[in-house]
A and B are shown apart, each in its own frame.
Chain A
């Protein structure tokens, strides 16, 4: 499944560090797929992705693709922003509960109501991707 991609004509204000472990996440996101990890022995998903399972500390994990669908749990519009984000102010950020039972915080597009059905989109900045959610 490929996520909608929204182009943003500037660089990310505070880009994530990409480690050898998290590279698959960011590479997949750039291609329109929202991934995380699942512990092989526990069978449980975690987010952000981790090189082990935080529930049973099992070291065997697998990358799985998430639907990117969920419900908006809460949101805010941040007017007083950190210096690096001055060019994006005001910022609408929120918390989305994914259908897979994970809670994720991210940028929110549009002005959805709480509990609205949401979908993940890729923000394609000029230097790399971020994820965001919008109403669907």
Chain B
């Protein structure tokens, strides 16, 4: 409730996570040389949150400190930049972290800002396009071209909720039926309430370090084995008509990531995709080569992307049920991969998980960032 008394402030929530993360990594705070923050939402009053936190945590830094902003890709870019800080030798230990508080925001007012982020202010926002309205148009086109059904798309939300029920940090764990998903009030047709993201709060801290540091710590870790990025040079829609639902940026980023990891999509044991809507998970899964083009929805309905299926997608419960604190979602993606690849995922553990892919995106997947992580035997 917007008028409820304050219970906790951003730095009071994030600092204990940093301490926990470093304790889990078995590293002393003096080793940290770089802090890369996912930028906070505008609702966070403390500006220059990164340097404020460096003071709060008493952390002198010889590497770098920054807040990154990459629209929906923000959390993923924070991780990417922390990896870079280590790879470039700026610091042997870097933290990728963020806190995204927005559940108190009024949705209609929140969208007055986000509508200006997902389109040309003077030629798109004038019509009231919202972020998820673009995904809804993906859904309409996809069903038209490939004959995918509403029930097949909706099955993704049911599957994600089943996964989330096994995830202690998930926002929504109560079981959801297909009928409930299909009968929900419409938000952006054809998508209803359970096929679009909730408003979420979330905080994450990841420890990124040089491999020799990880080895010396004698703690479980995962390796960053591949990375790919692509931006198609278009903002929401390509002014030259193209196949909008192919998600060409995700295709390009995945191809680069797989090549740099020396793998193919078939080698992956799981994937954690940035997918704010059911349709986005289907299309991103196809673009990453996890399901065949045009078959992603049907394969989700058939259980191929569920835990225990051929290629589990969004074992965390994904944006729809784990939650979607947008600027931190990309960090949560890597967190889930780390849990799976260090075999800490409990009841939702993918057996013998060795290779996992994570994606994040901005716009209508106009850009994508894909990481491949590997378990250390």
CA distance A105 to B241 in the complex (A): 11
Q: Using Cβ atoms and an 8 Å threshold, which residues of chain B touch A73?
A: 141, 241, 244
Listed residue (A94, A95, A130) with the most chain B CB atoms within 10 angstroms of its CB: A95
Q: Is the CB of B130 within 8 A of A80?
A: yes
- Interface contact A79-B133, CB-CB below 8 Å: no
B236 at the interface (CB under 8 A from A): yes
For residue A88, CB closer than 8 A to chain B, the reply is yes
CA distance A37 to B106 in the complex (A): 39
Do A93 and B187 touch across chains, with their CB atoms under 8 A apart? no
Q: How far is the CA of A80 from the CA of B128 in the complex (A)?
A: 10
Which residues of chain A are near B240, meaning CB under 8 Å?
Answer: 101-103
- Chain A CB count within 10 A is highest, among B121, B136, B241, B242, for B241
Does A28 reach chain B (CB closer than 8 Å)?
no
Complex Cα spacing A64 to B337, Å: 52
Task: Point out which of A17, A75, A101 has the most chain B C-beta atoms below 10 A from its C-beta.
Answer: A75
Is A84 a contact partner of B112 (Cβ separation < 8 A)?
A: yes
Residue of B nearest to A76 (CB): B136
Q: Which of B115, B140, B189 touches A79 (beta carbons < 8 Å)? A: B189
A76-B188, A79-B187, A81-B108 known; A48 and B141 CB under 8 Å? no
Is A117 engaged at the interface, CB distance under 8 Å to the other chain? no
Q: Taking the nearest CB of chain A, how far is it from the CB of B104, in angstroms?
A: 16
User: B129 contacts A114, CB within 8 Å?
Assistant: no
Taken together as a complex, chains A and B put the C-alpha atoms of A78 and B190 apart, in Å, by 9
| B127 lies within 8 A of A130 (CB) | yes
Chain B, range 140-162, C-beta contacts under 8 Å to A: 140-141, 144
Measured CA separation A83–B189 after assembly (Å): 19
Contacts known (A105-B124, A106-B127); A83 close to B109, Cβ less than 8 A: yes
- Closest-by-CB residue of B relative to A84 is B112
A76: B residues at CB distance < 8 A: 133, 136-137, 139-140, 188-190
- What CA separation (Å) do A28 and B164 show in the bound complex? 53
Residue A67 lies at the interface, judged by CB distance under 8 Å to chain B: no
Interface string of A53-75 (1 = CB under 8 A from B): 00000000000000000000111
In the bound complex, how far is the Cα of B345 from the Cα of A23, in angstroms?
58
Once the chains bind, are A91 and B112 in contact (CB under 8 Å)? no
Q: Mark A2-17, 1 if CB is under 8 A from B, else 0.
A: 0000000000111111
Min CB gap A55→B, angstroms: 10
Q: For residue B128, which residues in chain A have a CB less than 8 angstroms away from its CB?
A: 13-14, 78, 81-82, 84-85, 88, 91, 93
The answer to whether residues A17 and B122 also contact, given A103-B239, A105-B237 and a CB cut-off of 8 A, is: yes
B107 proximal to A (CB < 8 A): yes
Contact, CB under 8 Å: B111 / A83: yes
Q: Are B133 and A93 in contact (CB under 8 A)?
A: yes
A97 contacts which chain B residues (CB < 8 A)? 241
Residues of B within 8 A of A46 (CB): 239
- Closest-CB distance, B241 to chain A (whole angstroms): 4
| Distance in angstroms between the alpha carbons of A13 and B127 in the assembled complex | 8
| Of B107, B111, B137, B185, the contact of A75 (CB 8 Å cutoff) | B137
Closest to A15 in B: B126
Contact of B122 among A16, A78, A82, A93 (CB under 8 A): A16
Whole-angstrom distance from the CB of B183 to the nearest CB of chain A? 15
Question: Is residue B186 contacting chain A, with contact meaning CB distance below 8 A?
Answer: yes
Choose among B124, B125, B188 the residue that contacts A78 (Cβ–Cβ < 8 A).
Answer: B188
B44 at the interface (CB under 8 A from A): no
B111 and A74 form a contact (CB under 8 A): no
Q: Which residue of A lies closest to B245 (CB)?
A: A74
CA distance A5 to B138 in the complex (A): 30
Known: A95-B237, A114-B144, A130-B126. A74 touches B112 (CB 8 A): no
CA distance A84 to B278 in the complex (A): 27
**Which single residue of chain A is at the shortest CB-CB distance from B193?**
A80
Residues of A within 8 A of B108 (CB): 80-83, 86
* Subset of 20 A-B contacts with CB under 8 Å: A16-B126, A46-B239, A48-B123, A76-B139, A78-B128, A79-B187, A80-B108, A81-B111, A82-B114, A83-B109, A84-B112, A84-B128, A91-B127, A93-B137, A95-B137, A101-B241, A102-B239, A102-B241, A103-B240, A105-B124
Q: Give 6 closest A-B pairs by Cβ, nearest first.
A: A76-B136, A74-B137, A82-B111, A16-B122, A85-B128, A77-B189
Can you name 18 extra interface pairs (CB under 8 A) apart from A15-B126, A74-B141, A80-B107?
A12-B126, A14-B125, A73-B244, A76-B136, A76-B189, A77-B188, A77-B189, A79-B188, A82-B115, A82-B130, A84-B128, A91-B128, A93-B128, A103-B237, A105-B237, A114-B141, A114-B144, A130-B126
